Structure 1
Amino acid sequence: MQGDIGEKGSCTTCAYTEDFSNYWTAALYFRHENGSYKRVPQYANAQLGTEGRDAPDIRGGMTIYYTQKDFESNGDQYITAFQPGFRMTVGSPTTDTIQGPNAQPGLRYTCLQDILTRGSETPGLPSKPCPAGIMAIHHFPSCWDGRNLDSPDHQSHMYNTDTGGFRNAGPCPISHPVRVPQLAYETMWNTSGFNNMWPKDGSQPFVWSYMDSKGYGTHADYVFGWKGDSLQRAMNDSCMFHRCGSPGIQGVLKTQTVAEMNHCSVKNIVTEDTEGWLSELPGHQAGIRFQT
């Protein structure tokens, strides 16, 4: 989608009603010993909770963070919000060696011992069954050249000084002097239903939709879509997390209920079967391989 998507959207699945940005990562599949595949379901970040016992659960399993410094402080540096038309990617589906993740410490996985597990990050997919699933983590670069809303590779207009985790990124270089929000995705994959199907030889059975069983090629896309100056207002404020706005808490950002979030959906236009047990990964039939 081109242009200011914040002004084109009619609803959003985000908690903040002014956020119409596009957030994307690949789909994760389980590969059975018999050669068939099944898509791994997502589940919501437990720390977001619901609005009460009888309220609906949040659909989807991606949590988005826009931080100014780290989880302890907003810092005192001015943060420039992304501009309409801005987009970027992080990671690459062609990366198949450990050298790639080592160069980008913000691309990691956590083997969830319970739904609140954090830390113990690895550069590749976990090598053993995870009791509560796998969390895929994507930290985007936070230094912008200040001119280009995009670049041919969707990455050159950005510079990555990320140090891993939710720590403050390093100083921006002269070539990319503008500090933008530190954007991060946490995607929760509920792999627990496949733990009793783990291969007898102990091999890692999960694969990304572009046929990556190591996990080094993990990547994510971002297209900015906040309405008006809403993201800049949040960056200028001293609020953090729910204090920026949530049901029952008045903040600088407007929020909506879980039911309203879940009501927003896009019609499925994919004609290929993607659910149930599949003989091939979607997009790989007849020997054709598509990379995301």
Structure 2
Amino acid sequence: MRWLALSLAALAVPSQAALRFGCSTVSIQRLDPLVEPGKVPSAHLHQIVGGNAFNASMDPADGDVAEKATCTTCTFSEDFSNYWTAVMFFKHQNGSYHRVNIMQNTALPNGINGGMTIYYTQQDFFSNGNQKITAFPKGFRMTVGSPTASSKYGVGLKFVCLQNKGTRFPELDDFPAQRCAGGIMTVHHFPSCWDGKNTDSPDHQSHMYITTKDAFQNAGPCPSSHPVRVPQVAYETLWDTAKFNQMPGQFVLSFGGKGYGTHADYLFGWKDDALQKAMDNNCMFQACENGRPLKSQGVQAMNQCQVKSTVAENIDGWLDELPGGSMDM
């Protein structure tokens, strides 16, 4: 009986699962179904990863994203979510702009086409603090940051000056003051406390509460207003800025503003209860692949998944202005 009691107690302790995986680029275009739903084109350029159901509207009333998508650019083939961020540009001293290419994270399999590293952690990088982590419901979406921010917006929105692809510190609130030998990484940490009721809110943020500290540090407890602990979603994007290091000019984001305006969007699209299975599991990072418990796919399948652009405009080479113009912040 004592053995049985101990076994049941062990089962009652929440798991210590965490996901880290790559997603190749599914599209780079001016669409934003959260902030500017239905508008073609949106105000500024985004790089998008994830499922190929991505489009200008994506109204939850139109159905489950996971049922509409036929492929995903992410390692986990059951993840049809969409993840997107503003694009980085180099603004030359002569006033012209050039889009900065995205590099593959060194921690990911070789050959991934641009994209981002996605994290679903729990209390911090290694632990859920022995608490239940609840997966997002169907139709859930959120944003973090704001392109109109002119000073530090909040924790979790950072830049890292890379000496190499493995550099992770220090985390900066704005673009690095110096040129970086290995490129620049942008980091976006989303809130991890949910009100338990609303899958969205008018500002796409009020239904969430942020307790995150910088660099995957221990997250504080959820308040009574937002009592449900959900996975800590984070993005890392590595930008190949080194090719511009000898040119006069500066780096800007695709709305024309400084780094304080960095922001990111998340739209949940995991198949059935796949994400909850992962959060209830004891796997960590790559150990969650190959059916333990999540289905996964190879780099070739990830790169083949694409969304055709619905916006006819040139985004490559030297441009006279940013796609969509500039907010002049």
1:2 maps onto 2:59 in alignment = yes
1:261 aligns with 2:302: yes
Deviation at 1:60, TM superposition (A): 1.6
Structure 1: which amino acid aligns with 2:302? M
Secondary structure, aligned partner of 2:245 = helix
Query: 215, 228, 251: which one pairs with 1:206?
Result: 251
Give unpaired runs (5+ residues) of structure 2.
1-57
In 1, distance between residues paired with 2:328 and 2:82?
A: 21
Q: Who is 2:286 aligned against?
A: 242
Cα distance change, pair 243–64 in 1 and its aligned pair in 2 (3 A): same
Q: Which residue of 1 aligns with 2:200?
A: 150
2:98 and 2:79 map into 1 onto residues whose CA distance is: 31
Structure 2 matches for 1:103-252, cutoff 5 A? 104-199=154-249, 205-212=250-257, 214-245=258-289, 250-252=291-293
CA RMSD between the two structures: 1.5
Partner of 1:30: 90
Q: Does 1:71 align with 2:121?
A: no
The answer to whether the Cα contact below 8 Å between 1:129 and 1:198 also exists between their aligned partners in 2 is: no
Shift of 1:112: 0.3
Structure 1 position 61, deviation (Å) = 3.1
Superposition deviation, residue 269 in structure 1? 2.0
Secondary structure at 1:127 match in 2: coil
The superposition leaves residues 156-213 of structure 1 with CA deviations (integer Å, 9 ceiling, x where unpaired) of 00011111111231100010000000000001111011011144xxxxx00111111x
| 1:198-240 deviation line (CA, Å, top 9, x unaligned) | 44xxxxx00111111x300110000000000000000000111
- What CA distance in whole angstroms lies between the structure 1 residues aligned with 2:328 and 2:270? 30
8 Å contact from structure 2 (residues 89, 252) kept in 1: yes
Equivalenced residues, count? 269
Q: TM-score of the superposition, structure 2-length normalised?
A: 0.79
Give the match's secondary structure for 2:186: strand
Tell me the residue number matched to 1:41: 101
Hey, what's the Cα distance between the residues in 2 that align with 1:259 and 1:64?
Answer: 18
Q: 1:85 to 1:71 in 2, by over 3 A?
A: same
Deviation at 1:49, TM superposition (A): 2.7
Name the structure with the higher strand share.
2
Instruction: Map 1:71-90; keep pairs closer than 5 Å.
Output: 71-90=125-144
Query: Partners in 1 of 2:300 and 2:115 — Cα distance?
Result: 16
Mean CA deviation greater in 110-119 or 190-199: 190-199
**CA distance in 1: counterparts of 2:123 and 2:285, whole angstroms:** 13
Q: Report the alpha carbon displacement of residue 289 of structure 1 after superposing the two structures with TM.
A: 4.7
Counterpart AA for 1:67 = T
The one-letter code sitting in structure 1 at the alignment partner of 2:105 is: N
8 Å CA contact retained: 2:162, 2:180: yes
TM norm structure 1? 0.89
* Sequence identity percentage: 59
Against the structure 1 CA distance between its residues 81 and 8, is the aligned structure 2 distance closer, same or farther, given a 3 Å change threshold? same
Match of 1:202 in 2: none
What does the per-residue CA deviation read over 1:239-288, in whole Å, with 9 as the maximum and x for residues that have no partner?
A: 11001115xxx51100001000001011122212111100001101xxx7
Cα deviation 1:71-105 (Å, max 9, x = unaligned): 2334311000001100000001110123x2xxx22
Residues of 2 paired with 1:144 and 1:74: CA distance?
16
Query: 2 CA distance for matches of 1:252 and 1:132?
Result: 35
Residue 278 (1) aligns with residue 278 (2): no
Partner of 1:25: helix, strand, or coil? strand
